[in-house]
Amino acid sequence: MRRTDRLFDLIQILRDGRLHRAGEMAESLGVSVRTIWRDMATLMASGLPVEGERGVGYILRAPITLPPMILTGAELDALRAGVRLVADGPDAALARAARVLATKIASVTPAPPEADADDLFVFTGKETNRATAHVPLLRRAIKARQRLTLTYIDPEGRETHRDIRPLALDLTGRVWTLAAWCEHRGGFRSFRVDRIMAIAETEEVFPTEPGRTLADYRALMAGDS
């Protein structure tokens, strides 16, 4: 474990406001007690409100919290952009802290319906985790109007192969779905992205044809409701 990561973990341990002995923290992080002593000296020298000494223990006297606040949509977008920038930045400790911060913010704020799969504020789960690898390729294909071949597991658990025209991605709760025109079925279909096993790209660009567009799909869905 790098020292920057270890210092971050120590702060997380101390956040509960209780007294923590160096031996306990050393065992938790898999390092020596002497290493913890040096790390705690570094944290205290940085200005963090930590009190304690060797043989007694360490405690964070002032909790690191923010007062309740209401954010506008634009402010939340700015916060999302800032957290993403730091999370992708070169400072490993700050990047890790940004991802933890995003998790905390996500627990009290809804992700926007147009959120990308890699949006840090989107609640994650096994469905979104499986879908994440496919979403960037699908988005590119939608934009380029590129025909794709999917290896897909249908609701009955059977493996199928579909030639499709990808039209739109949608995130509902934890589940990504792909709206598409299915060439084999000759109609619109909605595919759960987490059930896609593989995607084969083609160099075919599908034309804009009446009755097979995203607008037609949405009109069909609205009519069904």
| Successive 10-residue mean pLDDT values, the chain, 225 residues | 78 84 90 91 81 86 64 74 76 78 67 51 56 84 94 88 92 76 92 92 92 91 66
Q: How many CA within 13 A on the CB side of residue 200? A: 8
Q: Fold match between 3-60 and 127-224?
A: no
Give the CATH number of domain 3-60.
Answer: 1.10.10.10
Q: Tell me the domain boundaries of the chain.
A: 3-60, 127-224
Q: pLDDT tens digits for 128-168?
A: 566 777 888 998 999 999 999 999 998 888 899 999 999 99
What does each C-alpha distance from 33 to 27, 48, 100, 110, 144 come to in angstroms? 8, 20, 26, 42, 57
Q: Cβ neighbours of residue 218 under 8 Å, at least 6 residues apart? A: none
| pTM, full prediction | 0.47
Tokens of 77: 């977008």
Cα(209)–Cα(216) distance, integer angstroms:
10
Helical (H) or strand (E) element with 142: helix 135-144
Q: At the topology level of CATH, where does 127-224 sit?
A: SH3 type barrels. (2.30.30)
pLDDT at 2: 74
Of 151, 187, 185, the residue nearest 167 (C-alpha): 187
Cα(180)–Cα(197) distance, integer angstroms:
16
Strand pairing of 146-153 and 57-60?
unpaired
